[in-house]
Chains A and B, each alone.
Chain A
Amino acid sequence: MDALANNFQVLFQGLALGSIYALVALGFVLIIRATNVVNFAQGDFAMLGAYMMVAFLVSVGLPYWLSFLLALAGMGVFGLIFNYGVYYPLRHRGFLPVIISTLGASIFLQNSVLAIFGAQPKRLDNVIAGGVQIGSVFLDSQYLVILAVTMVMVVFQYFLFEHTMLGKKLQATSQDKDMARLLGIPVALMIAITFVYSSALGGLAGVLVGPVLFVSIGMGSIIALKAFAATIIGGFGDVKGAIVGGLFIGVVESFAAFYISVPYKDAYAFLMLFLVLVFRPQGFFGERVSEKA
């Protein structure tokens, strides 16, 4: 294999992994915009989604499409429970209690899943077996699926937010809750919908990445940390920034792992995060924000 093919292979892998970070980062951003808090269990949504898939597909033995729909629906329901159990009781108490509460939820989820499924990682098979061979470059089918689904989701989300009434209501809620309330928008419902959607999005990321990584208890935390790094690098709370930031981290991480060192693979995202924070704290697309008196 020549260097060019190598680089292409690495880039392809990076983009696919980056898509996963971007999907989770999107969930982050939607919740940040709706509630002004970071959901520290966002990565565990991916983990839970992957385990639901394992449960339906492997344990129960349902067909793929049905398992997939059930996992997404299950994650939607879970998002609703999460909203009312973890966020809603603390919504008037500032961000610190909410952050801590979502952190508690993360610990709870990981250890509950551990108690049910055990510590042994689970396998999920590719949606479509095999892959595409172009010259000396092999494109794994799951990576292609990830890229395709991510693109569909980005378009879907753009359409949802910019061209539907529900999307406009969600946007209004995230920009000014009091005003939205005065206009008759049911703010609490909009926030609940945001959690449902973000949870399903996280679950989708988990289902997609399951065949690439093993399905394990800790898979969510590491994805979440990189997704969060992506939201900061892209610009805190910026949708476009989340996608670009996610892809950026995926690509840089793949190249650094290939050319520098594999054991520290997970550290590169944090290194970039530190650099961005020191030199461009507002991220690629963010504006400097200051508190209003």
Chain B
Amino acid sequence: MSTQTLEAARARRFSLWPFILFAIAVAVPLLPYFTHVSNFVLSMFMQATTYAIAVLGMVVVLGYTGQINLAQAAFFGFGAYGVALGTVTYGLSFWVALAIGIGIAGVAGGILGLTTLRLGGHYLAMITISFQQIFDLVAVNWIPVTHGPDGIAGIGRPSLFGYELSDDRAYLLLCSMVLYALMAAVWYLPQTRLGRAMRGVRENELAAEVVGVHTLRTKVIAFTLCAALGGVGGGLYAGGFAYISPDNFNFARAVEFLSMVLLGGVQSPFGGALGTTLLILLPEWLKEMPPGLQFIKDVYLAIYGLAVILIMVFMPEGIWGLLRNGWKKFRTALPIDTSGITPLNLDIAVAETTPLLRLEGMQKYFGGLRAVDGIDLEVSRGTVHALIGPNGSGKTTMLNVVNGIYKPTGGRIIIDGNDVTLKSPHERAAHGLGRTFQNIRLFPSMSALENVIVGAQRDNNPIEPGAKALRARAMSALQFVGLADQANAIVRSLPYGHQRLVEIARALAGHPKLLLLDEPAAGLNQTEKMELVALLKKLRSGHGLTIFLIDHDMGLVEKVSDRITVLNFGRKIAEGTPREVLRHPDVIAAYLGDSNAAA
């Protein structure tokens, strides 16, 4: 497609909406300067802006990274107590106190994340609740410092460039500007390296780790950011209301933050802000109800709870998600410019003659089950090496050990001269190990291009720094598997065969030296299998890539492999060229049963 039509397509997309939203956003905080606004309404504005900042943290951690945090009110509290104690008790300037509050919130979030994020969802939910409860207990009981249930009054407000922000209107303006700046940052985040890593973790954590994302670090960063945003919101809240008490930071408030982000839409900062505004207005609207409906006021928290269930069941992406999906129906995906893509280059030096992968006495036991029982194996550079064996013979276990998903019970794994036995999967990816899975593991709601970029952004990938080079690399990989024109398609919507190819492209984008393929032909039809064979041959002979694969399709294995290793009951029973191995009596016996034994 030529550049002109692309420009035309972009021009057609021009829409007034962003400008209208921007105008409203600017107008709201300026409103009090032009017309009389009651103190009550001003304080609602103040509440909405500071809460919305904390809710942005929930967007990052829950929406982008898929991790739950039920302690956001505690992080909000760290910021608030930082400002309150800093200005009232220690007489610090507002800005210093705010920075300390945010810092403490961030550090607390980071520590909490480090200890629990390794363990995954359920733990995280409960532990953040526990943390929230402990915060509440301490805030109420540590009276010498927190002043207990009485709270802290007389909290100061800042001055900015010599201008005192003691006026509510000016302070609200400041909070709004902070909110908008942070919203813009959170909105931009998903397109960054970190943001893509976060989304990868959310969509398929194991796959993200395997293609080179340091998943634990990504989650801890997300958690720290979330906590720090909570701290910003809390600090500004304390300045805005001049008084805080533990009631403002209890578990009910944490649930409120959660409901806000769920209602508005967890995937977008706009959704978060929308949900916050609605849930702050809701109780006020309920007060205006006709007398017959006044009972609703008393049970509105129960309605909250019910609403959370209903949102999860019927509106998982929240109001903003509904609006956006409705909007998308009227738009066509941007066509992709497939001209000028550099052909894929794997930059593999073939001069070396040492084996690329060496396994020494590899063992993996699951309790008493010896899934892999002392295997020695070498994969030579630039070859396709197949691992075959009957079901349950330990093939996938072995791949998982090579990959680092399982820690071996014994033995050593050496990739390109580096002992990687104790390294995690993402570190192995940084050593040039790529992989695909038996049951495809992509990031389903991201585009094909984004999926492949996550593969390209691994550590040590020998490409130029910068977003442009990442994108170019990903396009080359997609072009190589023949899917460049599908780059913008959401992976979930692609046919099965194409998804397999996207997974291969994701691995190739990371410049692997060694590619592990777990049943690449599973579920493919005859034509697709032929294409796969051609692709594998092209990778080996044209690019010198070393491939270690598992498959049950002997026709395919015979066609593509230089060498075959046969496993049975976790042990190696044969090894050699396809011709030798497939006629080996032990191999035939393992697959078809021993005719002597049967007789």
Contact = CB atoms under 8 A, between A and B. Distances in A.
A177 B122 CA distance: 20
Contacts of A97: 312, 316
Most chain A CB atoms below 10 A, which of B70, B123, B205, B304: B123
Contact of A108 (B205, B305, B400, B437): B305
B104 interface: no
A101 B306 CA distance: 9
Interface string A101-131: 1011111111110110000000000000000
Interface size on B, as a range, is: 35 or more
Given A107-B302, A270-B134, A277 B400 contact: no
Given A278-B115, A293-B437, A270 B130 contact: yes
Nearest to A265: B137
A103 B456 CA distance: 38
A38 interface: yes
A290 B405 contact: yes
A225 B129 contact: yes
B122 A293 contact: no
Interface in B518-537: 518
A273 B116 CA distance: 11
Interface stretch (A87-95, A144-152, A153-161): A87-95
Nearest to B129: A225
A156 to B, nearest CB: 27
A293 B255 contact: no
A104 B255 CA distance: 9
A115 B255 contact: no
A258 interface: no
Nearest to B366: A287
Interface stretch (A12-20, A184-192, A197-205, A228-236): A228-236
B129 A293 contact: no
Contacts of B399: 293
A114 B298 CA distance: 9
B121 interface: yes
Given A100-B308, A103-B255, A90 B123 contact: no
Contacts of A293: 206, 396, 399-400, 403, 405, 437-438, 441, 518
A263 interface: yes
Contacts of B141: 263-264
Nearest to A37: B122
Contacts, number: 130
Given A270-B134, A293-B405, A104 B119 contact: no
A291 B306 contact: no
Most chain A CB atoms below 10 A, which of B118, B121, B126: B126
B356 interface: no
Nearest to A278: B115
B137 A232 contact: no
B452 interface: no
Given A112-B302, A263-B141, A293-B400, A281 B118 contact: yes
A64 interface: no
Given A93-B316, A293-B400, A115 B137 contact: no
A49 B32 CA distance: 51
B90 to A, nearest CB: 25
Nearest to B316: A97
A292 to B, nearest CB: 8
Interface string B301-328: 1101111110011001000000000000
Contacts of A101: 308-309, 312-313
Interface in A245-289: 263-264, 266-267, 269-270, 273-274, 277-278, 281
A278 B307 CA distance: 36
Given A86-B309, A236-B122, A281-B118, A96 B66 contact: yes
B125 interface: yes
Most chain A CB atoms below 10 A, which of B123, B129, B130: B130
Contacts of B133: 222, 225, 266-267, 270
B299 A107 contact: no
Given A225-B133, A281-B118, A281-B119, A104 B308 contact: yes
B308 A274 contact: no
B130 A277 contact: no
B305 A104 contact: yes
A196 to B, nearest CB: 19
B403 to A, nearest CB: 7
Contacts of A104: 304-309, 312
Nearest to A36: B122
Most chain A CB atoms below 10 A, which of B68, B115, B127: B127
B211 interface: no
11 contacts: A38-B122, A96-B66, A105-B305, A108-B308, A110-B301, A111-B302, A111-B305, A228-B126, A277-B115, A277-B127, A293-B438
Given A229-B126, A293-B438, 13 more contacts: A32-B122, A89-B313, A90-B313, A95-B122, A100-B312, A101-B308, A109-B305, A111-B304, A269-B130, A277-B119, A291-B205, A293-B206, A293-B399
7 nearest interchain CB pairs?
Answer: A104-B308, A108-B305, A107-B305, A111-B302, A111-B301, A270-B130, A104-B309
Interface of A: 32, 37-38, 40, 85-86, 89-90, 93, 95-101, 103-112, 114-115, 221-222, 225, 228-229, 232, 236, 263-264, 266-267, 269-270, 273-274, 277-278, 281, 290-293
